[in-house]
């Protein structure tokens, strides 16, 4: 079955904020055409990008429809409920939750913690006196992906055992029959990936969020369900396997089985902490076995990416600890073969030469070491990491905020300088932000000299530079969206101004043209001739039955006059003006 990956990007919703790039612990994000997408081969499915995306563009695959189909097609479907349910559904009796799940159509509900207990026993048996080996737990699929892809030298240390979810699915099929369907329910996104890789064991994986949505669709409130004596976990309650969702829960169960007497048992949670914990262990000399319980989510599975955020970690831990029971002397399910093999799948990390990185840096305007701000706005920790991502094809030059800002300013400045008309932009206090030399020349007097001394005249007070413009600027600032066009006298000249908002109420701009100049007068004559043509054609269309061919002749004459005037050499010198309208900002 060709399934969509557990995490994907909804096209059109990405706002190119690069927050997912910034927070992804393995930089498994590719930005193409301003859209950040997940690189499946690099992803460890921790769910960080889903949680931090402000626009909700990062999505988790919806397997609810699939689970419903399994309930219809299989003769019997059992819900494998992760032990984190105790923290997720606080205040709800297990019997009420079981009744709610049975109302959805599940034949039975069983605790995944039963599989966890079998894993604890198998891990304890791996520890041999005097072996002095490193063992890394494989209960967390994100940890497994992290080691396989980014720490391949540690793959040999992964315990060669199935995860609690896989183990529990095997146990259920052996107990209820091979045709039994199994739907896992928990707080984890990466369990969807694990389920995809083992379809012969797990038919579908739902998150707690999926389950809550299913309850809402059916109008079921677990807190109100009247759990009865038949609403119990099948085939029995789990013991200390219920501690797995809290940091250190696994090794607590192993210690109870005697593992602590023969090995050091340590637990770490949170992806940043995990990489630090494993640092230096490769090739290290150990005096006895070292077992590491590693969980990707800080605090454990109770803080999984699809767990509720309603209360703190301490309260969640208390709920899990209060629900957990000591393990029974005799397990209620037979122990299956837990053997599993894990192979390295290292992510290719090209090594680029300094020259290649330098060329990539130049693409984002980093010409000197001083230009490398390392601001992190692009999502990468340093400009050189961004350069490597550019060479990988995982990033775009537009991700560099400082480069794009500088580029935008350079474009705007070049356009303003090249404008044949005067241009000025001010802030709400009427202080000049930018202007071109043509503006200074239009004002005349000492203004051109001031411009030469301080190009752009940044900070100059418009009220002193040209008080005649104040009413129009003040009006546009106050109205926020009004564009004012008017002609006005400035000393012995007539100027035409267009005042417009750049940022409503905060920044305003103006284009100023001296219409007493010969070239401008010439344009006005042509414009007036074209206006006469337009009005004449409108009139002629109304009385065409009287004028006949004279209408067409009148239009041709006026058009000829306008074209002849345009094409003839200017009596003031210089080329005839173009037909093209002046370009705006």
Q: What is the average per-residue pLDDT within 77-94?
A: 96
**Contacting residues for 211 by C-beta, under 8 A, at least 6 apart:** 185
- pLDDT tens column, 231-277: 999 999 999 999 999 999 999 999 999 999 889 999 999 999 999 99
pLDDT of residue 86: 96
Task: Read off the DSSP letter of residue 139.
Answer: S
Report the C-alpha dihedral over residues 525, 528, 530, 534, rounded to 10 degrees: -170
* Residues recorded for the chain: 585
Mean pLDDT in the chain?
88
Q: What is the average per-residue pLDDT within 459-472?
A: 92
pLDDT of residue 547: 43
Handedness of CA 513, 514, 520, 521 (dihedral sign): positive
pLDDT of residue 528: 58
Nearest CA to 391 out of 351, 418, 432 is that of 351
The CATH number given to 1-61 is 3.30.70.20
pLDDT of residue 263: 93
More confidently predicted of 297 and 527: 297
Q: Which CATH class is domain 419-514?
A: alpha beta
Q: What is the average per-residue pLDDT within 163-170?
A: 98
pLDDT of residue 538: 59
- pLDDT tens column, 90-116: 999 999 999 999 999 999 999 999 999
Residue 292 has pLDDT above 80, yes or no: yes
User: Helices 164-176 and 190-197 sit at what angle, rounded to 10 degrees?
Assistant: 50
Q: Is residue 242 exposed (0-12), middle (13-18) or buried (19+ Cβ within 10 Å)?
A: buried
The residue behind tokens 């990956």 is 5
Q: Is residue 318 exposed (0-12), middle (13-18) or buried (19+ Cβ within 10 Å)?
A: middle
pLDDT of residue 1: 57
- pLDDT tens column, 120-163: 999 999 987 667 899 999 999 999 999 999 999 999 999 999 99
Task: Read off the DSSP letter of residue 157.
Answer: G
What is the Cα 254 distance to its own chain's centre? 39
Give the residue extent of every domain in the chain.
Answer: 1-61, 62-323, 419-514, 518-567
Q: Is residue 498 exposed (0-12), middle (13-18) or buried (19+ Cβ within 10 Å)?
A: middle
Residue 44 has pLDDT above 80, yes or no: yes
User: For a pLDDT cut of 90, what percent of the chain falls above it?
Assistant: 73
**Contacting residues for 424 by C-beta, under 8 A, at least 6 apart:** 432, 434, 435, 436, 439, 462, 509, 510, 512
Alpha helices, DSSP H, located in 307-436: 313-323, 354-363, 383-392, 401-418
Predicted confidence band at 518 (pLDDT cuts at 50, 70, 90)?
low
More confidently predicted of 412 and 389: 389
The residue behind tokens 């494993």 is 278
The residue behind tokens 């010409």 is 367
pLDDT of residue 571: 40
- pLDDT tens column, 522-581: 555 556 556 655 665 555 455 444 444 444 554 554 454 455 445 444 443 444 444 444
Alpha helices, DSSP H, located in 139-189: 141-150, 164-176
Residue 69 has pLDDT above 90, yes or no: yes
pLDDT of residue 515: 83
User: Helices 249-256 and 113-126 sit at what angle, rounded to 10 degrees?
Assistant: 60
**Are 186 and 308 in contact, with CB atoms under 8 Å apart?**
no
pLDDT of residue 536: 54
What is the Cα 372 distance to its own chain's centre? 24
Task: Read off the DSSP letter of residue 366.
Answer: -
């Amino acid at each position: 079955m060709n399934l969509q990956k557990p995490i994907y990007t909804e096209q059109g919703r990405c706002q190119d904020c690069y927050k997912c790039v910034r927070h992804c612990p393995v930089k498994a994000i590719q930005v193409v055409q301003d859209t950040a997408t997940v690189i499946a081969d690099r992803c460890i499915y921790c769910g960080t990008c889903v949680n931090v995306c402000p626009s909700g563009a990062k999505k988790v695959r919806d397997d609810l429809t699939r689970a419903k189909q399994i309930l219809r097609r299989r003769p019997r479907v059992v819900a494998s409920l992760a032990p984190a349910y105790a923290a997720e559904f606080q205040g709800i009796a297990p019997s009420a939750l079981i009744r709610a799940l049975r109302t959805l159509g599940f034949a039975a509900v069983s605790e995944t913690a039963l599989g966890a207990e079998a894993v604890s026993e198998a891990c304890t048996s791996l520890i041999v006196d005097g072996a002095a080996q490193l063992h890394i737990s494989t209960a967390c699929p994100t940890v497994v992906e992290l080691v396989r892809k980014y720490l391949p030298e540690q793959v040999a240390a992964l315990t060669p055992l199935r995860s609690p979810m896989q183990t529990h699915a095997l146990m259920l099929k052996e107990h209820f029959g091979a045709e039994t369907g199994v739907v896992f329910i928990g707080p984890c996104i990466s369990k969807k990936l694990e389920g995809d890789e083992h379809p012969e064991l797990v038919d579908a994986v739902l998150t707690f969020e999926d389950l809550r949505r299913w309850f809402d669709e059916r109008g079921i409130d677990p807190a109100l369900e009247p759990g009865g004596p038949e609403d119990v976990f099948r085939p029995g309650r789990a013991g200390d396997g219920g501690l797995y969702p809290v940091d250190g829960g696994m090794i607590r169960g192993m210690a109870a089985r005697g593992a602590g007497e023969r090995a050091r048992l340590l637990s770490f949670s949170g992806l940043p902490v995990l990489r630090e914990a494993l640092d230096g262990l490769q090739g290290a000399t150990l005096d006895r076995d070292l077992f590491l319980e590693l969980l990707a989510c800080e605090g454990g599975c109770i803080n999984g990416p699809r767990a509720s955020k309603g209360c703190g970690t301490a309260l969640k831990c208390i709920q899990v600890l209060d629900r957990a029971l000591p393990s029974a002397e005799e397990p209620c399910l037979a122990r299956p073969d837990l053997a599993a093999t894990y192979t390295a799948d290292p992510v290719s990390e090209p090594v680029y030469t300094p020259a290649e990185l330098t060329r990539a840096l130049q693409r984002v305007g980093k010409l000197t070491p001083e230009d490398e701000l390392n601001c992190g706005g692009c999502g990468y920790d340093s400009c050189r990491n961004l350069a490597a991502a550019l060479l990988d094809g995982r990033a775009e030059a537009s991700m560099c905020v400082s480069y794009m800002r500088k580029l935008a300013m350079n474009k705007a400045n070049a356009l303003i300088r090249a404008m044949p008309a005067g241009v000025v932009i001010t802030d709400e206090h009427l202080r000049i932000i930018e202007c071109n030399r043509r503006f200074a020349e239009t004002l005349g007097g000492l203004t051109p000299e001031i411009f030469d001394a301080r190009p752009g005249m940044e900070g100059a007070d418009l009220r002193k530079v040209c008080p005649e413009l104040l009413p129009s600027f003040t009006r546009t600032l106050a109205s926020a969206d009004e564009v004012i066009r008017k002609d006005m006298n400035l000393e012995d000249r007539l100027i035409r101004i267009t005042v417009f908002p750049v940022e409503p109420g905060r920044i305003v701009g103006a284009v100023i043209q001296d219409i007493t100049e010969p070239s401008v007068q010439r344009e006005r004559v042509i414009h007036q001739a074209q206006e006469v043509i337009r009005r004449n054609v409108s009139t002629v269309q109304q009385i065409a039955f009287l004028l006949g061919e004279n209408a067409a002749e009148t239009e041709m004459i006026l058009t000829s006059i306008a074209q002849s005037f345009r094409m003839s050499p200017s009596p003031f010198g210089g080329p005839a003006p173009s037909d093209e309208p002046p370009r705006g900002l």
